Structures are given as structure tokens and as C-alpha cells.
Amino acid sequence: MAKEKSGERKPGTPTNRDHETIDKIQKLALNAVVAARTGKNPTVEIPVRALSNVQFNEDRRIIELGDRKASREFFNTSMAKKFMQTFLVANECRKLIAEQKTISIRQMYYKTKHTLKGTSENTFDEQAESDPIIEDVEVSIDALREELHLFANKRGLVVGQLTVDDAGDQIDLRRMGRGGWGIPSICEEDALKFVRCDAEFVLVVEKQAIWHRLNEDRFWERSKCILMTTEGQAARGSRRLLQRMSTELKLPIYVLVDSDPWGLYIYSVLKQGSINLAYESMRMAVPGVRYLGMSAMDFKKFTLSSAVQIKLTKEDLERAKQIRAYPWFAEKQWQREIDALVSNGFKMELDGLLTKDTSFISNEYVPKKLRDKDFLV
């Protein structure tokens, strides 16, 4: 496939970046073909995505993938199916890039699912099989999912003091009404550009219900900020957008999650990256993000009633023990926070702040936290 010279690319034709990704996929296939022709066992080397192969980079303050790799062999009955699945997905990605089309990871499952001729064996039985294979292809050829022309369903909403250019359309996030702007799955520079920013910081909230309360109270307008909800654990698009807001717009980012081990982990994924996507940390992690709350200490600080208390479960306590051992939670401030959570014997949800007043979180809780610089880093 001939490559276009810089500045001469026609709409609907592959970019140089696309050509590079296609070359990587073809090299993967060529290595397997050469091995087969020379009587060797075709293999694919795939970096191991597990806790045993990640490390916390103290200087960069992010989780990074280690050097360990696993060989996926064709002439191995326990690996043959996954070997086939890897090349099946890679080939479909190659076709998408050549055709300049983009599909969801759900659609990739259907594109690659069929029954092998003369058998009752399916290439994939469910999406839970195909999603990890997509990640295998990403790490094995060192290409981003976006470079493979794949996207996940978008999740997350934003309003506030920012105007963006989304694939040629200018969108003023001050004029998103009650619904907000849905964060795209792909937030790379060539698809999404920042046009104008008047915000002084970004406030990220775990729950959509809390985001709606802050949005209805026009918190983002009064405080000159960008208000985002990740709707639980942040999707890749939300994490990439936050990282770009931090590095390109130089905005401080504050996070509001529930006071429980799961909220702490949601925050840590934004800050250091995740174990499963450690190979993406450099473009997704935001080491400077600040934990505004909800803190275990807030029960006394804000004289909350016992109505906000939810007894810690056995699973909560086990999870707290696990995150306490993570090196990125080793600092004394985090050990104190986790100890206080366990010592309290209860967890708290941000929604519980409404026991004080419907707009307590907008009018008092968050403003006081920001004013007093009451956050963890």
C-alpha cells in the first residue's frame, strides 16, 4: 500500500500512523509464516499483564509494565485456539485501518465470531474471550487501541469552562444543559482539540448523581472549573482526557469518590494507572491528581450524622488490606486514611452529604475542602 506524502493525504485514506500500524500487524504475521516454513513452532510473544509483571516507578509515580513475556504457540493444544484468535483479531484490525473504518470492541467480537467449517467449534463464544485478545494485540505490536481503529462505548460526562473541537465540530461545554457532553472513547489530539479554556481546575466525581447535583447548582460556573463524572471506574477516554487536561492545559485536578476501599482504588487508577493497562500509563495516568474526598476523617470534620454510616463488609476489609500493601499507597498520609477507614468500622457515600442539606456538597463541602487545601496527593 503506497504511502501518501505529508500534506497530500486525501480524506478517507490511511495516515502515516495507519501505515505504521499495518506494517506492525503484517510483521507479526510474517514472523509466524517464516517460522512455519522453516519447520519451527510459530509463536507470538505477549507481555504479561498481571500484578507479578508490573512495577511502581517511584520517579514517574506511575505503574509500569515489566519485561516478562509469555509465548503463545501454534503447536500447543492449550494455546492453539488463542493463537488463532490473536491473528483473527489482528487481521480484522488490518482491514479496518485499510478501509478507514472504526468499530466498537463489541462489534469486533461479532466480526470475528463464526463456527469453524466442519466443526461445532466457535472462534469466540462470548465477548469476555475477545476483549483480552484485543489487549494482547495492542501490547504485542505496541499499538494503541485507537491505532487499531477500535473504540469502547463512551462513558462519562463533562460541563464547564472549556470549548473543544470534536472532529471538526466546536462544542462549548458551558452550554451543555443538564445532560452534559458525553466523553468520547477516543480523545487523542488528532480527533479532539482544546479551543478555549477559562477553567482554573477540574473536579472529577465518581458518581453521576453527584455530578448532576453539582451541575444543577452551577458549581462549575461559580467556581470557574470543569466538572466531570467518570460514572464509576474511569473508562480509557475519560482517563486520556484528564491526562491531556493536566499536561496541556496545566490544570490541577481534584477527585471526589466515596469513602470506601473501592473509591480509593478508583482514585489510584486515575493517579498511577491500572495493573491491567500498565502499558498505557504514560498516556493515561495523572500523577498530580489530588484526592479531595470523601475522607474517613470527614465524619467528624463536618459533624455528619450516623445516617451516613454503612458498616464495612468482609470484602471491604479485605480490599482495604490489599490496597494498604500497594507501594503507591505507602505514604504515611494514605496509611492514616486507610487506617481511619478501618478503625471507623464504616464507609460513607458522597450521597450521604445530602443529609446535611440538598446542596451542602456544592455550597459548603467542596468549597471548604478547596479553601482549606484539605486534600491528599
Helix (H) or strand (E) holding 181: strand 181-182
Among residues 110, 254, 267, 365, the one annotated as catalytic is: 110
| Three-class secondary structure of residue 323 per DSSP | helix
Cis preceding linkage at 284, omega within 30: no
Distance of CA 94 to the CA centre of its chain: 24
19: CB partners within 8 A, 6+ apart: 1, 3
DSSP class of 363? I
110 is catalytic: yes
CA dist., res. 191 & res. 197, Å (int): 18
As to burial, measured by CB atoms within 10 angstroms (0-12 exposed, 13-18 middle, 19+ buried), residue 12 is exposed
CA dist., res. 211 & res. 238, Å (int): 15
CA dist., res. 284 & res. 281, Å (int): 5
- For residue 317, the number of C-alpha atoms closer than 13 Å in the C-beta half-sphere is 9
Catalytic residues: 110
